[in-house]
Chains A and B, each alone.
Chain A
Amino acid sequence: MIHLENVSKVYPNGTQAVKNLTLDIADGEFVFIVGPSGAGKSTFLKLLIREEKADSGSIHVNGHNLMTMSRRRVPYLRRTMGIVFQDFRLIDKMTVYDNVAFAMRVTGHSEQTIQKRVPLVLRLVGLGDKSQRKPHELSGGEQQRVSLARAIINKPSLLIADEPTGNIDPERSIEIMRMLFAIHQKGTTVIVVTHEHELVRHFGGRVLSLKNGTVVSDTTLPIRYGAVKNASAQKEAPTS
């Protein structure tokens, strides 16, 4: 669960990126964050993952009080969430398998657990047959799916994605979105920052619109699971 109340963030250079932000996101919601460039969308996500600390107000995420928590507790907050980046952030010298396993290795999982779970999640994102490839041998959409696999490998209750489809062509974007909805359907809270209103209209969900660091509209569209299924059907249909 996410709860923000009167949160403000001013960067050291004086830019006020977030202003009196108050909002709640319940467990299991699917939320799009939209808004013009500079609206404070990324800053909002940075506050959630405690990359930045708010100047005032209160923030609670997955049972952690982010205003009072010590720096030493931050890793344990982060283990409750998965993060997907616009630029994938894959380690080029590692295979697909190792990139995903990396997230488990550095959080202290046993090699045995890793060997069981990684192939499973790679199959889930449709990359079961490409586990030994290097990232540069994959398409942009495939790279983002590796990134997605890494984000969910530690079973987070919250998935955060900052413009996950920003570097991917439209068709592949739908594929990624379909996967995000599939993860959501299994009970994970998903927050997606996007500029692509097409996608928002296509899938539906809660849409939070930010401007000048504050919420200007908050509407919930019905999620069109048909669209989700269609997208998956599209993908599985043989191409000719």
Chain B
Amino acid sequence: MKLSGLPYLLKEGFKNIWNNRMMSLASVVVLMSCLIITGTAALISVNVQTLIAGIGDDNEITVYLRPDYSDVDSIALSGSLSAIPNVESCHFRSRTEVLQSYQETLGDNIYAAMQGDGNPFGNEYKIRLHDLSLYEETVRQINALSGVDKVSDRSDIAEKLTRLDYFVTVTGIWVVLVLGIVTLFIIANTIKMTMYARRFEISIMKSVGATNAFVRIPFMVEAMAIGLFSGLIASLALIALYEPIRQAASGIIGMIQNATLPLQNIWLPTLLALSGSGLLIGLLGGMLSVTRYLNKEGGAILGT
């Protein structure tokens, strides 16, 4: 887009304001696209993290005690379980409660027969871990306690999501980094082109004794306006598309609906982050090209 417009722009130069407007529009489009991609990556990452946090909450491990282990000993075990560093909380569930939860499945007759000494279940503890990745080691510690029959498996989904989160975070950082640099160069280039188009005015400014700070202002304003405008449009686009996409995703995976962030939680951070990044990129890009231009080509006044 920019390359094909270059010869025409160079010829028309500063005389054609409309041309400059088109150039700015082109850079807004590219910058906006980059910000949308970056924003999307960030939103996915944030949602995956929320999802993991939600699953982590449900991620209780059950510690089954031996059926012959006495109730008194079972209750006393809560102290030893809590003493394990990675155990966040433990909650006792008596064999009677366990049997009750199976009442419907078993049918009234069998349920009645299993009351009292006929109860085949042992007492249980529902426990939560601080750090799921230390699961193996914690289970070993629990198994070493007397009365423990076995420990339930951890949720597979949590494990996969933990890996996905890592992937999304690492990819996200790279996307932000690469696109940040790309957009920086795009805006620096746009400003360079504008300065080249207005080199005539710049040379007159310098010939009458305008300071570099003064010459710089209009270009910095332009760069920052392009950045801010791109950021605003990008965030509005993401905000508009967020709910429909979340709905569509929840159609595929049922659990997403409840475990992801609703629009009202993300619209303000998205708006601020993208507009701020746009502005910052504009500022840096503008500074980059303005300073370089003024120190090099911008010195010519008399010509030949």
Q: Interface residue tally of chain B, by bracket?
A: 20 to 34
A83: interface (CB < 8 Å): yes
Chain B at the A interface: SS class: helix
Question: Is the Cβ of B209 less than 8 Å from the Cβ of A78?
Answer: yes
Tell which of B77-85, B128-136, B295-303 binds the partner.
B295-303
Tell me the A76-115 residues at the B interface (CB within 8 Å).
76-79, 82-83, 85, 87, 89, 91-93, 102-103, 106-108
Question: Is the Cβ of A108 less than 8 Å from the Cβ of B214?
Answer: yes
Most chain B beta carbons < 10 A, residue from A51, A106, A107: A106
Q: Interface residue tally of chain A, by bracket?
A: 20 to 34
Tell which of A42-50, A116-124, A175-183, A212-220 binds the partner.
A42-50
Question: Is the Cβ of A89 less than 8 Å from the Cβ of B208?
Answer: no
B159: interface (CB < 8 Å): no
Name the one of A82, A85, A106 contacting B205, with C-beta atoms under 8 angstroms.
A106
Specify the chain B residue showing the minimal Cβ separation from A150: B208
- Bound together, the chains give a CA A49 to CA B208 distance in angstroms of 10
Question: Is the Cβ of B210 less than 8 Å from the Cβ of A91?
Answer: no
Q: A93 to chain B: which residues have CB within 8 Å? A: 14-15, 17
Contact with A along B111-143 (1 / 0, CB 8 A): 000000000000000000000000000000000
Tell me the B209-230 residues at the A interface (CB within 8 Å).
209-212, 214-215
Question: Is the Cβ of A83 less than 8 Å from the Cβ of B15?
Answer: no
Question: Is the Cβ of B209 less than 8 Å from the Cβ of A76?
Answer: yes
Question: Is the Cβ of B209 less than 8 Å from the Cβ of A162?
Answer: no
Q: B209 to chain A: which residues have CB within 8 Å? A: 75-79, 107, 154
Question: Is the Cβ of A92 less than 8 Å from the Cβ of B15?
Answer: yes
- Bound together, the chains give a CA A232 to CA B205 distance in angstroms of 32
Question: Is the Cβ of B15 less than 8 Å from the Cβ of A106?
Answer: no
Question: Is the Cβ of B210 less than 8 Å from the Cβ of A83?
Answer: no
Contact A106-B214, Cβ < 8 Å, known A45-B302, A51-B300, A93-B15: yes
- Bound together, the chains give a CA A40 to CA B204 distance in angstroms of 22
B304: interface (CB < 8 Å): yes
Q: A83 to chain B: which residues have CB within 8 Å? A: 207-208, 301-302
Q: Across the A-B interface, give the 7 residue pairs with the lowest CB-CB distance, nearest first.
A: A78-B209, A79-B209, A106-B210, A103-B208, A75-B209, A75-B211, A106-B205
